[in-house]
Chain A
Amino acid sequence: MLTLDLHRLRFYARIYAKLILLQLRAAVEYRADFWIGVVGAVLMNGAGLVFIAAFFSRIPAVAGWSAWEVATLYGLTMIAYGLREMLCDGIWTLRVQINRGEFDRLLVRPLSPALQIVTSLASIHGVGNVLLGLVVFLTATHRLELDWTVAKVLWVLMTVVCGLIMVTAISFLANVIGFWEPGTQSSFPFMVSNVVEFAKFPLELYGWGIRFLVTAVLPYGFVSYYPSLILLDKENPLRWLGYATPLATAAVTFVTAWVWRKGLARYQGVGH
């Protein structure tokens, strides 16, 4: 049902904000976890950044991309991914909740189960990713002497919002498998999710297989690469795809919503 009910929408936004803030607060209260999360995020992505720095210290550009341009991609991806971790990480609890029957309780509340599942957890790890991503992105665009027009600012905002939605939608797709196979062992969701790593680098680096994968199957390319073609004014035959970013995001969201419904209808609970 795609009826736009403004009251309902506002209501959902309010409940969502309350839930996620409470979860973030609870996460911060586990203090050791908080610091491990932040430091972990910085270390993990720091390694990637060191790699870029080392790589570009020898070669000035790869496939037409300079170091700071690649850093822009890297930063954008980290921001989108980190926001997802901060705001929608609960989806990663879906398989466990299905497996243990805890999902039951989401179905007896007058609230969309999808909203309840994304708010069942907030990860501090994301805060580190977002902060580091921001630093990297802002430094890179500064070094590139990007001319910040209003249009560009709006374009970046659109990119980040679409990126967050895209990454979240794909996380849903990856985890919805729990409705079909309620085991919690499968590494399938992690594999799907980790494809995002490709989006941190220009797609020119990859063969046609991977390009196709991140453009048409798990379109992580729209999280940073395609919109950056426009942001950074790159000459590229696929530049027009950058403008399709909102469309691609909407398409993935639509497919995800459809699969989610199919999965929900299959829910069988557990035996007690």
Chain B
Amino acid sequence: MPIIEARGLTKRFRRPVKPPGLGGALRHLVRPRYEDLTAVDGIDLSIEPGERVAYVGPNGAGKSTTVKLLTGILVPSDGEVRVRGIVPFANRIANARNIGVVFGQRTQLWWDIPVREAFRLLGDIYEVPDDAYRATVGELVEVLDLAPLLPVPARQLSLGQRMRCDLAASLIHSPPVLYLDEPTIGLDVAVKARFREFIRTMHARRGLTVLLTSHDLGDIEELCERMVMIDRGRIVYDGPFAELTRRFGYERSLHLLFSAPLPEAERVIHRAIGERAPVIIVQPDETSVTLTFDGRETSAGELIRDLATALPVADLRIEEPTAESIIRKLYEGTLSFDGADRSDRQAIRT
């Protein structure tokens, strides 16, 4: 049975429409006008216990809003959501016991209270039994190396230190579900690596279910086997991270290096491959050329066979798209999600 389940989950924000300037503000006072903004638009999501899911999408896609709906911070405008069988917004307190939440932008700790005291308070608030508390905090302090930070109030922690304390704070009551909204924002490479290691350890030890939003592909690649991508409030991809390159990585490049200068390479190539497939040819200088083509229409092997005899090829390199380039193109809208669609070829040309 899924641990997190959402059906048709929708959130509309009502925003005041205020014409610019003081006059506009005054007009708004007299006759207020509002517009609806659909931040999350009918999302279906089902996450099994122990899954680690990356929730990605361009800025403003609705990721944070979804996390707030799943954690019970916001009340959905439409649709259903259950986390461990509990409707989060209707039963916030019961739901809170099941979840840990970390928001990268702001701390969950008390500003003026030392970290040690904050941990103890959380232990009391979540009614963690003494021995369980000692074991858990002992483990968290060790794995995250928090010992030197314990006497420091949250306001004096650096961003990375605060992040580590926040992570520990979110797990003191050993919740089965952990939500992380951009947890690595602003962290240095070493702290990032440590964070990922920590999540992997906790996942292995406790079978945590993790939902993570991030703009850092490393987080996603290293932590999550499943990726859900949303765009303008709708899910556009839901599947294994690795599948993404298989499904959308049909754009290939073939780089050729000539043994002698060949200014008219483009004409020669067109003649050699004939009608085989549309190819985009870019010649940066006289001794090299780059061909970009659709991997579903032709293969690098066929192209090389055609060209090897027609051109003085000295060296060659085949380039497959990286996940990063695919995601960037998906965000930019230059790559369409309807995978097999012919119009994709249009996309390739841009």
- Indicate whether B13 reaches chain A with its CB closer than 8 angstroms: yes
Q: B181's closest neighbor in chain A, by CB?
A: A272
Of the candidates B68, B73, B96, B121, the one whose C-beta lies within 8 Å of that of A22 is B121
A22:B93 contact, CB within 8 angstroms: no
Interface stretch among A71-79, A102-110, A156-164, A229-237?
A: A102-110
Q: A8's closest neighbor in chain B, by CB?
A: B93
CA A11 to CA B121, docked complex, whole Å: 12
Asked if A23 meets B112 with Cβ closer than 8 Å, knowing A101-B106, A268-B74, A272-B105, the reply is yes
What residues on B are CB-neighbors of A110 within 8 Å?
A: 92-94, 96-97, 125-126
CA A186 to CA B117, docked complex, whole Å: 35
Of the candidates A11, A18, A108, A272, the one whose C-beta lies within 8 Å of that of B72 is A108
What residues on A are CB-neighbors of B94 within 8 Å?
A: 110
CB distance from A154 to the nearest CB of B (A): 33
- Which of A100, A112, A269 has most B Cβ within 10 Å? A269
What residues on B are CB-neighbors of A52 within 8 Å?
A: none
Q: A268's closest neighbor in chain B, by CB?
A: B13
A15:B96 contact, CB within 8 angstroms: no
CA A120 to CA B111, docked complex, whole Å: 9
CA A105 to CA B75, docked complex, whole Å: 15
B113:A23 contact, CB within 8 angstroms: yes
Contact flags (1/0) for B295-331 with A, using CB distance below 8 Å?
Answer: 0000000000000000000000000000000000000
Asked if A105 meets B121 with Cβ closer than 8 Å, knowing A110-B126, A269-B73, the reply is no
Of the candidates A105, A111, A268, the one whose C-beta lies within 8 Å of that of B125 is A111
A26:B74 contact, CB within 8 angstroms: no
What residues on A are CB-neighbors of B64 within 8 Å?
A: 272
Q: B100's closest neighbor in chain A, by CB?
A: A108
Within 8 A of B (CB), among A98-148: 100-102, 104-105, 107-112, 120
What residues on A are CB-neighbors of B103 within 8 Å?
A: 104-105
CB distance from A82 to the nearest CB of B (A): 21
What residues on A are CB-neighbors of B113 within 8 Å?
A: 22-23, 26
CB distance from A13 to the nearest CB of B (A): 12
Of the candidates B73, B117, B125, B127, the one whose C-beta lies within 8 Å of that of A104 is B73
B121:A109 contact, CB within 8 angstroms: no
What residues on A are CB-neighbors of B72 within 8 Å?
A: 107-108
- Indicate whether B108 reaches chain A with its CB closer than 8 angstroms: yes
What residues on A are CB-neighbors of B93 within 8 Å?
A: 110-112
What residues on A are CB-neighbors of B101 within 8 Å?
A: 105, 108
- Indicate whether B36 reaches chain A with its CB closer than 8 angstroms: no
What residues on B are CB-neighbors of A22 within 8 Å?
A: 110, 113, 117, 121
- Indicate whether A19 reaches chain B with its CB closer than 8 angstroms: yes
- Indicate whether A191 reaches chain B with its CB closer than 8 angstroms: no
What residues on A are CB-neighbors of B278 within 8 Å?
A: none
- Indicate whether B160 reaches chain A with its CB closer than 8 angstroms: no
- Indicate whether B71 reaches chain A with its CB closer than 8 angstroms: yes
B105:A18 contact, CB within 8 angstroms: no
Interface size (A, Cβ < 8 Å)? 27
- Indicate whether B153 reaches chain A with its CB closer than 8 angstroms: yes
What residues on A are CB-neighbors of B99 within 8 Å?
A: 108
- Indicate whether B145 reaches chain A with its CB closer than 8 angstroms: no
A18:B124 contact, CB within 8 angstroms: yes
- Which of B72, B73, B94, B153 has most A Cβ within 10 Å? B73
CA A14 to CA B99, docked complex, whole Å: 23
Within 8 A of A (CB), among B69-106: 71-75, 92-94, 96-97, 99, 101, 103, 105-106
Within 8 A of B (CB), among A53-109: 100-102, 104-105, 107-109
A102:B125 contact, CB within 8 angstroms: no
Of the candidates A14, A26, A102, A112, the one whose C-beta lies within 8 Å of that of B124 is A14
Of the candidates B68, B105, B117, B125, the one whose C-beta lies within 8 Å of that of A15 is B125
- Indicate whether A150 reaches chain B with its CB closer than 8 angstroms: no
CA A111 to CA B117, docked complex, whole Å: 17
CB distance from B327 to the nearest CB of A (A): 21
CA A272 to CA B103, docked complex, whole Å: 10
- Which of A23, A26, A107 has most B Cβ within 10 Å? A107
CB distance from B75 to the nearest CB of A (A): 7
CB distance from B344 to the nearest CB of A (A): 33
Of the candidates B13, B96, B121, the one whose C-beta lies within 8 Å of that of A19 is B121
A108:B96 contact, CB within 8 angstroms: yes
B106:A26 contact, CB within 8 angstroms: no
- Indicate whether A50 reaches chain B with its CB closer than 8 angstroms: no
| A–B complex contacts, Cβ < 8 Å, 28 sampled | A18-B121, A18-B124, A19-B121, A22-B113, A26-B113, A27-B112, A29-B112, A102-B106, A104-B68, A104-B103, A104-B106, A105-B101, A105-B108, A107-B73, A107-B92, A108-B71, A108-B72, A108-B96, A108-B108, A109-B125, A110-B94, A110-B96, A110-B97, A111-B125, A112-B93, A265-B75, A267-B74, A272-B105
A residues in contact (CB < 8 Å) with B: 11, 14-15, 18-19, 22-23, 26-27, 29, 100-102, 104-105, 107-112, 120, 265, 267-269, 272
Instruction: Enumerate the 8 nearest inter-chain pairs by beta-carbon distance, A residue then B residue, closest first.
Output: A26-B112, A110-B96, A110-B93, A107-B73, A108-B101, A105-B108, A104-B73, A110-B97
